[in-house]
Amino acid sequence: MPIEGGTATAAAGGLTYGMIGGGPGAFIGGVHRHAIAMDGVATLAAGCFSSRMAKTVESGTALGVPRDRLYPDYRAMILGEAKRADPIDFLVIATPNHLHYAIASLALEHGIHVVCEKPLATSLADARALAALAKRKRRLFAVTYTYAGYPIVRHMREMVAHGELGDIRFVAAEYPQEWLATPLEKTGQKQAAWRGDPQRAGLSNCVGDIGSHVEHLVAHVTGLEIRRLLARLDRFVEGRTLDDNASILVDYRGGASGIYWASQIAVGNDNGLRVRIYGSKASIEWAQENPNYCQVAYVGGPVVRLSRGRDALHPPAQRMSRIPAGHPEGYFEAFANIYSSFAAAVRKKSNGETLTPADLDFPSAEEGVRGVRFIDRCVESSRKGATWIRW
């Protein structure tokens, strides 16, 4: 059986999952499957990988999914699984943004735990409705803000929480890419086409796709709450409907301030997510493309480079570290860390055990709501001429 689907390690995890989306031409679906399989936390048991049944059968067959659990659409899949004596334990949603709400809400209504790609929904009202529904149905809901799964990121969060940086004064975060520096969507490239379409992507392309990662990373590490923001969203490529570059000023509750930059037209940049946090005692800096290290500088003291695998990390971060120093851990491992926590919570809940805050240490539906609110506020600010908008 193929490793990607997780079938080779089914006995170890004991859970099953289904996937909607993530078929031919998709990037993120395969990432989810590899990440789940990495720790053997669940088996891929059902799927609707495409809007075309022939493509779903092609993908499902290659992944070892039984033919009777391949479905023509998301509704048939959720209703079909809900009727089974052995339904899936959780559903992974790896579709374009406009489908997230309809799929997730139907799954929750039928008692299925959900893992959803970000952004959670294309409107703030829908995002809030999903979070409320998950709470009412007592179902677990994770949003895959991948970068929260890196050990060094978790260590940085613990450093801030333990006061090692002092009072946070300023945050500078950026996420530059170059992949949309040309009108790629006009070539038929699948990923570019739907992200540039307001009917499928929602209010924003750049802020929704990568700016939301900036917002989540900063909030995850610092715990800062936004008080107001000012955003300018640009469309630099001719004929493009949605933004491809964004400059955002942020004021936080408590007096700190920040600046975010997200861009998909930054020639020379691959996936340059980076955060710098400046406190009264120390500063810290981390870059996603070199994720096993961070730099810490102390007032009146040394500048230190911390190494995952070599240096002692705070326990919540140390538990996420998998291999010795000098053997790079990256994107797949970060994804797998999120899934490991989520699956453990699903198993514990299925066994009737009480979940603790530590069990729920994965990006939640509430964090997904905050991300959609961030997108909404940025779009509003830009439409009003780059004015300050209260959170």
Q: pLDDT tens digits, residue range 41-63?
A: 999 999 999 999 999 999 999 99
Query: Which range (20-24, 171-175, 348-352) has the least confidence?
Result: 20-24
Residues in the chain: 391
Q: What is the DSSP letter of 147?
A: G
**pLDDT confidence band for 270 (50 / 70 / 90):** very high
The whole-number pLDDT of residue 1 equals 29
Is domain 149-322+370-390 in CATH 3.30.360.10, yes or no?
yes
Query: Which range (11-15, 193-197, 315-319, 372-376) has the least confidence?
Result: 11-15
Share of the chain above pLDDT 90, in %: 95
Report the pLDDT averaged over residues 198-214.
97
**pLDDT confidence band for 335 (50 / 70 / 90):** very high
Check whether 379 has a pLDDT greater than 70: yes
Q: How far is CA 141 from CA 4, 193, 255, 354, in A?
A: 23, 28, 32, 16
Structure tokens at 385: 């001429």
The whole-number pLDDT of residue 11 equals 39
The whole-number pLDDT of residue 355 equals 96
**pLDDT confidence band for 92 (50 / 70 / 90):** very high
Q: Please check whether residue 229 is in contact with residue 258, taking contact to mean a CB–CB distance below 8 angstroms.
A: no
Q: Where are the domains of the chain?
A: 7-147+340-362, 149-322+370-390
Report the pLDDT averaged over residues 181-195.
94
Check whether 240 has a pLDDT greater than 80: yes
The whole-number pLDDT of residue 13 equals 46
The whole-number pLDDT of residue 326 equals 94
In sequence order, the β-bridge partners of residue 172 are: 259, 276
DSSP, residue by residue, 104-138 = HHHHHHTT-EEEEPSSS-SSHHHHHHHHHHHHHHT
177 membership: H or E segment, kind and range: none
**pLDDT confidence band for 3 (50 / 70 / 90):** very low
Q: Please check whether residue 217 is in contact with residue 148, taking contact to mean a CB–CB distance below 8 angstroms.
A: yes
Nearest by Cα to 379 from 190, 248, 195: 248
Check whether 17 has a pLDDT greater than 70: yes
Number of other CB atoms surrounding residue 315 within 10 Å: 11
The whole-number pLDDT of residue 298 equals 98
The whole-number pLDDT of residue 25 equals 76
Q: Would the CA dihedral through 59, 142, 274, 311 be positive or negative? A: negative
- Nearest-angstrom CA–CA distance, 215 and 260: 8
What is the rounded average pLDDT for all residues in the chain? Answer: 95
382 phi/psi in degrees, rounded to 5: -65, -40
Q: How far is CA 32 from CA 142, 165, 235, 352, in A?
A: 13, 34, 31, 27
User: Could you give the angle at the alpha carbon of 98 between the alpha carbons of 122 and 70, nearest 5°?
Assistant: 145
Report the pLDDT averaged over residues 342-359.
96
Read off the pLDDT of residues 271-300 as tens digits, 9 standing for 90 and up.
999 999 999 999 999 999 999 999 999 999
- Nearest-angstrom CA–CA distance, 110 and 31: 26
Check whether 166 has a pLDDT greater than 90: yes
Check whether 66 has a pLDDT greater than 90: yes
The whole-number pLDDT of residue 26 equals 82
Check whether 12 has a pLDDT greater than 90: no
The CATH architecture one would assign to domain 7-147+340-362 is: 3-Layer(aba) Sandwich (3.40)
The whole-number pLDDT of residue 257 equals 98
- Nearest-angstrom CA–CA distance, 148 and 89: 23
